[in-house]
Structure formats: C-alpha cells, structure tokens
C-alpha cells in the first residue's frame, strides 16, 4: 500500500515539475508571437516608404528624366533620344515596376494565416532580398517595347478605377469604426459628447468649404459647370445629414459629417484639376504655376493610397474570422495579400495622376492630376461615394420593412386559414 502511495506522490511531483518547465516555454512563445506581430505591423511603414520613393522616382522621370538620363537609357526600348522612357512613358514604366513588385508580394503572401509560418517572415523581413527584387522589378520595364507599355497604360486605367472603389470601401469601414468608437450606445449607456463635438467640427468645415468654393471658383454666372458641381455637393451633404437623422435610420451625425467633408474635399479637388486655361479659377488667374498646390495634391494623393492600404488593419477580423471564430494569439494582424493588392492597384492609380489619365498627350511640368478627365473622374467618385453611403443607410431599413411585411402577411394568412 505504501508503495502505491509513493508512486502516486512521485507522479504528482513529476506533473508539477512538468508544469513548471512548461510555464517558461509558454511565456517565451507568447513573447515570440508578440515580437512577430509587432514586426508585421512595422513592415507596413517600410512598404509605405517604398511606395513613396517610387512615386518620387516617377515624378522625377516625368519632369527631369530627359535632361538627366537620356544618354543612359537603352535605345532599343526607349528610342534614340530616350523619349519613350521619360515623361508619360517613364511614369508608366515605373508604375509597372511597382505593380510587379507588389503583385509578387501579394502572390507569395497569399493565404498566410499564422505568425509562425515561413512566409510571414518573408512579408515582415528579408529586406535585402526584397530590395533586389524591387530593383529588378523597377528596372525590367525599361527594356520592354513601348507598345506593351501602352497596353499596360490602358490596363492601368481600369486598375486605378478599382483602387478608387477600394478607397471608398475603406472610407465606409472607417466611418463604421468611428461610429463604434465615438457615438452613443443605449445598451452600454456610452456618452457621445466627443462624437457630437467632432460632428459639429466636420459640418462647419463642410459648409465653410462650400462657401469658399463659391467665392473662389464660381464668382461669375458664366461658371456654370463649377456652380453645378458645388451646388450638387451642397445638396448631397444636406441629404446625407437628413437621412442619417431620420427616425428609421438614426445613426447619428458623425458618419454623415465625415462623409460630407470627404465629398466637399473631392469637389474641391475636382475643380482644382480643371485645365489651367479655365477662367473660373481665381487662384489660376493669380499664378500660372502653383507649386504649393501641386505639392499638396501630391502628398494628399499619397496619403489617400497609404491610408486606404493601412485601413486593412483597422478591422482585420472582418477579413480573417467568421462571427463564430475567436482570433488566436498566433494569427496575423492583417491580411497580407489584401495589403499588397491595394498597393499594386495604387501603383496604377498614381500613374494616372501623373499623366492626367492621358496616355499620349504631354503633361505640363509640375502638374499633377490636371485635365477634364481627372476632373470628371473625381466628380464621379464623389457621387459614387455619396450614393454608396446613402445606400448603406437605407438598405437596413428596406430589409427590415420587407421582413415586417412578410411577417404580417404570414400572420394574416394563418388567421384566414
């Protein structure tokens, strides 16, 4: 009997010793996952910096490439004077290189789920090797014939449109996140003072922006197109505010205020993109070249691309998990393939900005996204953004009313039977 008791006691001691040994291993594993997660999040900034440098390179080739690099460019692909690899051609070749790099990253990081996977290390590290891949991807388009580059330019128009759609989706996700963070919740008795304050600020900015646009761009009655753009934008802002406050919708003012400011900005950007011969722009009357406006437009465009890409991490669980799944400690913080896919589409979008959506017409030096094509792309993007937002508000009401009607019809049928 005593031998049996000794065996039991010995087993308990061995079990306790095993637990003591497992605790440091569990702690070390948790620290390793935390380090890899942090490394993965920091990698986004490196990719953003690579994208920014690529944009500067495209700008340099467009405006100064012919003066500096014409003797170094390959004659077979770029022509005798190198004209096919500078100006719009240079922008498209750099864009193709950037698109190739991020497409390769998208393919090689497709369906990565766990931090301990080898491809997670490829996404978050191996920067020396990826720099070589980036240089090869950027240099390869400069030996491609010009007719293939023109085909890529046509494809890039479609890709730029896809990016604008992704940007709208990111904006809608951001509005939902803002509502969850700062709007009142009756179930949790959460206060909404900050949300009310932000709503007021954004609405003041929207109406002030509309008045300022009337003053700057619609002083004369002959400026019919600008008056139409600004007036329709003001109507959209008012409609979004009314719908968001409707008793059946009742989502509060914050999301409609932010979206209102966003479409006012798109309207301003569209009018700013009108050709420099346009007489209804008081700023263009004062100066033939507004360098500060160009630089501001450049950084706004880059920030829009980067923010649209980084927003994949704001609500990463919606990409990765179903409602009945619980995120694990070793899950990646965001979807790598979506991250790189948005950057690949963004590379097409910045090409269209630099060449003003025109493949063959020359682009004016120190100008970005100028021309009637650019203007109408932004105006359509504004209208589409407002339409998607209003549909997002109205659709749940329509579904709820249809469900109520179906239930009432079913009850009426049961009673008649």
Verdict on whether the full-model pTM lies above 0.95 = no
- What does the pLDDT read at residue 289? 45
Q: How confident is the model at residue 252 (pLDDT cuts 50, 70, 90)?
A: confident
pLDDT-derived band at 322 (thresholds 50, 70, 90) equals: very low
**What pLDDT is recorded for position 46?**
92
The total of other beta-carbon atoms located within 10 Å of residue 345's CB is 26
- Average confidence (pLDDT) over 76-89: 75
Domain limits at 300? 28-407
Q: 129 pLDDT band (50/70/90 cuts)?
A: very high
Q: For the chain, give me the number of helices (H) and strands (E)? A: 15, 0
Return the C-alpha torsion angle 210, 216, 218, 221, nearest 10. 140
Of 62-76, 190-204, 205-219, which gets the smallest average pLDDT?
A: 62-76
Task: Determine, yes or no, domain membership for 6.
Answer: no
Cα–Cα distances in angstroms (integers) from residue 64 to residues 51, 95, 414, in the given order: 20, 17, 78
Is 19 domain-assigned?
Answer: no
In this predicted structure, what is the pLDDT of residue 193?
Answer: 78
- Least confident span in 13-17, 241-245, 271-275: 13-17
**Comparing 172 with 101, which gets the higher pLDDT?**
101
Residue 104 pLDDT more than 90? yes
- pLDDT score of 314 more than 70: no
Helix axes 254-272, 146-182, angle to 10 degrees: 150
Domain count, the chain: 1
Give the percent of the chain with pLDDT over 70: 73
Residue 417's pLDDT is what?
A: 55
Give the pLDDT band (50/70/90) at residue 379: very high
- Would residue 19 be called left, alpha or beta, if left means φ above 0 and alpha means ψ between -120 and 50 degrees? alpha
Residue 14 confidence class, pLDDT cut points 50, 70, 90: low
pLDDT of residue 286: 46
Asked if the model's pLDDT at residue 315 lies above 50, the reply is: no
Q: How confident is the model at residue 133 (pLDDT cuts 50, 70, 90)?
A: very high
User: Looking at per-residue confidence, does 400 or 281 come out higher?
Assistant: 400
User: pLDDT digit string (tens) for 86-98?
Assistant: 888 889 999 999 9
Mean pLDDT of the 52-78 span: 79
Give percent above pLDDT 90 in the chain: 29
* 45 C-beta neighbours (distance < 10 Å), count: 11
Confidence of residue 176 (pLDDT cuts 50, 70, 90): confident
- Tell me whether residue 150 is in a domain: yes
Residue 4 is assigned to a structural domain of this protein: no
Instruction: Work out the mean pLDDT of the chain and round it to a whole number.
Output: 79
Buried b (16+ CB within 10 A) or exposed e, 9-36: eeeeeeeeeeeeeeeeeeeeeeeebeeb
Q: Where are the alpha helices (DSSP H) in 249-371?
A: 254-272, 282-286, 291-310, 316-320, 336-354
Instruction: Please indicate whether residue 229 or residue 67 has the higher confidence score (pLDDT).
Output: 229
What pLDDT, on a 0 to 100 scale, did the predictor assign at position 138?
Answer: 92
User: Which residue from 263, 213, 255 is spatially nearest to 237, judged by alpha carbons?
Assistant: 263
Question: Are the beta carbons of 65 and 91 closer than 8 angstroms?
Answer: no
- Average pLDDT of the residues in 289-296: 58
**Is the predicted pLDDT of residue 9 greater than 50, yes or no?**
no
Confidence of residue 50 (pLDDT cuts 50, 70, 90): very high
Confidence of residue 195 (pLDDT cuts 50, 70, 90): confident
Which stretches does DSSP call E strand in 130-284?
none
What is the DSSP secondary structure assignment for residue 371, as one 8-state letter?
A: S
Q: Is the pLDDT reported for residue 312 higher than 80?
A: no
- Minimal CA–CA distance to 172: which of 335, 390, 389? 389
Does residue 158 form part of some domain? yes
Q: Is residue 198 part of a domain?
A: yes
């Amino acid at each position: 009997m005593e031998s049996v008791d000794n065996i039991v006691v010995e087993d308990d001691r061995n079990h306790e010793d095993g637990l003591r040994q497992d605790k440091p291993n569990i702690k070390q594993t948790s620290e390793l996952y935390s380090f890899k997660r942090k490394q993965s999040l920091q990698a986004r900034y490196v990719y953003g910096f690579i994208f920014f440098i690529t944009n500067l390179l495209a700008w340099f080739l467009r405006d100064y490439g012919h003066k500096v690099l014409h003797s170094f460019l390959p004659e077979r692909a770029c022509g005798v004077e190198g004209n096919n690899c500078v100006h719009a051609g240079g922008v498209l070749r750099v864009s193709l290189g950037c698109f190739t790099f991020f497409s390769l990253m998208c393919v090689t990081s497709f369906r990565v789920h766990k931090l301990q996977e080898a491809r997670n290390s490829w996404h978050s590290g191996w920067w020396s090797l990826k720099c070589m891949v980036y240089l090869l991807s950027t240099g390869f388009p400069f030996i491609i014939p010009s007719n293939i580059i023109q085909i890529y330019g046509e494809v890039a128009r479609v890709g730029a449109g896809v990016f604008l759609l992704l940007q709208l989706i990111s904006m809608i996700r951001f509005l939902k996140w803002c509502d969850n963070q700062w709007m009142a919740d009756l179930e949790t008795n959460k206060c909404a003072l900050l949300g009310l304050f932000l709503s007021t600020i954004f609405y003041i900015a929207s109406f002030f922006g509309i008045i300022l646009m009337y003053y700057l761009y619609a002083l004369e009655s002959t400026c019919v197109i600008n008056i139409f753009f600004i007036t329709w934008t003001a109507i959209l802002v008012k409609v979004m505010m009314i719908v968001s406050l409707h008793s059946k919708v009742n989502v509060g003012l914050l999301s409609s205020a932010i979206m209102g400011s966003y479409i006012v900005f798109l309207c301003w950007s569209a009018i700013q993109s009108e050709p420099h011969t346009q007489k209804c722009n008081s700023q263009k009357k004062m100066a033939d070249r507004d360098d500060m406006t160009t630089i501001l437009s450049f950084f706004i465009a880059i920030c829009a691309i980067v923010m649209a890409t980084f927003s994949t991490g704001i609500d990463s669980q919606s990409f990765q998990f179903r409602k009945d799944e619980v995120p694990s400690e070793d899950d990646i913080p965001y979807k790598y393939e979506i991250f790189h896919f948005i950057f690949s589409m963004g590379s097409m979008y910045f090409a269209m900005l630099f060449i003003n959506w025109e493949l063959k017409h020359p682009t004016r030096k120190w100008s970005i996204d100028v021309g009637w094509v650019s203007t109408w792309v932004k105006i359509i993007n504004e209208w589409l953004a407002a339409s998607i937002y209003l549909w997002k508000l109205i659709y749940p009401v329509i579904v709820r009313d249809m469900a109520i009607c179906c239930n009432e019809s079913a009850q009426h049928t049961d009673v008649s039977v």
